[in-house]
Structure formats: C-alpha cells, structure tokens
Amino acid sequence: MIDLENNNTLKVFAGRHSMALATKVVEHLGIRLGQVRIESFPDGETMVKLEDDVRGRDCFVLLSTGYPVNDNLMELLIFIDCLRRASAKRITAVIPYFGYARQDRKDEGRVPITAKLVANLITAARADRVLAIDLHAAQIQGFFDLPLDHLSATPVFVKYFRSIRDQLGDLCLVSPDVGNVKVAETFANLLGGELAVIMKRRISGSQVVTGNIIGSVEGKTVLMFDDMISTGGTIVQAAELVRKNGAKRVIAAATHAVCAGAAIDRLAKSEHISQIVVGNTIDISDRFAALKPKMVELCVGTLLGEAIYRIHNNLSISELFRDTAGTKR
C-alpha cells in the first residue's frame, strides 16, 4: 500500500456505480475518497456537487460507463465539467470499462462510430487525460485527442491462475474468436499451456454462430479469456463446442462482466462452464446472484491505484505492462 495520506494535491472521486472499486483504489493509495454529492432530479437530470476543495489539485474521477450506460456516461461528463469549473489543475477520467467501445468502425452503411463520438464528448468536457483498462479495440486509443493510458488486466488474472496452476492440470488456452488470438497466445506462454482457436460468425449484436475449432482440447482444462462477457452467447457456444471435442473442464474469464440481457441466466444454466472469473471493473450487483456459485471476482484496484500514483507523480507506467497479454485487436 502507498501512503499519500498527507498529500493534499491528489484527489480521487467516484461515480455512484463505481464506489466499490474506487474504495479499493484509495485504500492502495492511502488516502480518503473525495467527498461529492450526486443526485438525480425527478425528471432524470443529474446534479454533481463537490464537497471537497479541488482548486489547483490533481483530480481523478473513476466511473465505468457500463449499465446503465447512458446515465453513467452523462454523470462522467457532468463530473468532469464540475471539476473544471471548480478550478482543478488536472482532470483524469478513469474509465475501467469504456462503454460504446464495440461501435468502433463503420461495418455497414448508415451507422455511427459511437466510440469516437464518446471520445469527442469526453474531450469536449475538458478532461486532460484518460485512464482505461482493456478497451474492446486497441484503435480506440487513437480516437482521443488527449493522452490515454491503456492498461491491461492480464497481470491480475495471471497472478490468480498461477496461484491455482496445479489444480488446472493439462491446460489449453482457447481464443473464442480470431481477434483474440494474440491475447490467448501470450496467456498460454505465461501459464504454460497449449493454444486453440474457435472460428465464429456474428449474425447480429446478440447472436453468434460458432464453427470449427483449430487445435486439440481433448482431455484438457480449457481457459477462455476475452475482454468482456456481453450477452454470453459466444462463451456458452464456445464452451459447448470444446466440451464436445473432449475438453475436461471449461473456465471462462473476462476483464469486464457486462452481462447484458439474458447473459446471467444463460451462463448460470450452462452445464459446460464450471467457473467464471471476472474483474471488478463493473460493479457486481445483486442481479449477478444466480452466477455467484460459479463466479470468482478479481480486484483491479491495486492496478488502477498504482497507475494513478505514477500519473500523479509523472512517473512511467511501463512497469504495469509486465506479464501482460496486450489487448484485443
């Protein structure tokens, strides 16, 4: 733990849906969480009122733009504007999970590139820099016209799986799609295991079809890692496929537990997935109750806290990329 208790130049604030993670971050930094009052008016408008003096201070506002996405995004923008008008010296938007990241290109006619729009909104709100974890596509870094530090949660997951490596036995890292092969390959090297790839075809935003598997999973413990679990369709179908091909056990892992729509029910009912390991970039609320028996939640608070410490002191954050699997293409 870092002790910055007497450092009055650093302030860390949190949005309403990211309080649990922010608490872990400030515990690592040895400071108290910034005091703020956030209210919703009867018509749905959001009001942010700072209870701490931030004039001339280095301020970090931590808020994942997950469910409810639009409410959290608007709260983040208002928070940034509030800090700017209160004369904060520097404002860093800490966005552990960056919503709208999947809309990162025009894959058909007459559609928006919403990831770029959100980047523009954060820039227009006058944030000075952004800190994010495992963006859905690495190219999103270039959407921001301000400095962005892109962390990988790999060290947190590698540490956990190394601690139970003896229980995993003969291991095979399976990439649930071609775009994640680089990450799966690095995981295989770090943990010591084989590599396999599943070919899939996306029909719509909520429906995918899995095809062939390249590589052998017979008799192995399969670990599938992705940046997020969204509808759960990809991971459930992939687990069924590898089990049909002789896999002994399937562990699904993801940095962001988005779990939209029927994902929680789908994952809870899957007989093929024995364990689900996720980061706490998105608050694990009561709606995850059905998944709790097979879920392991890993904390990225220390990772974020160390990054904030290094940014605040103008130090390199290269050290945080050790044991990293990079990002999804």
Tokens representing residue 327 in the block: 């990002």
Tokens representing residue 284 in the block: 């694990």
CA-CA distance, 307 to 120, in Å (whole number)?
Answer: 23
- The DSSP code for 272 is S
CA-CA distance, 142 to 166, in Å (whole number)?
Answer: 40
Catalytic-role residue among 11, 116, 200, 220? 200
Contact indicator for 276, 253 with CB cutoff of 8 Å:
yes
Torsion sign (Cα): 221, 226, 232, 237: negative
Q: What is the dihedral of CA 233, 239, 245, 250, to 10 degrees?
A: 170
- The DSSP code for 271 is S
Catalytic residue status for 89: no
Q: What is the DSSP string of 77-109?
A: HHHHHHHHHTTBSEEEEEESS-TTTT--S-SST
For residue 131, which phi and psi values (nearest 5 degrees)?
Answer: -125, 120
Q: What is the dihedral of CA 114, 144, 232, 289, to 10 degrees?
A: -110
Q: What is the DSSP string of 197-208?
A: EEEEEE-SSS-E
- Positions marked catalytic: 200
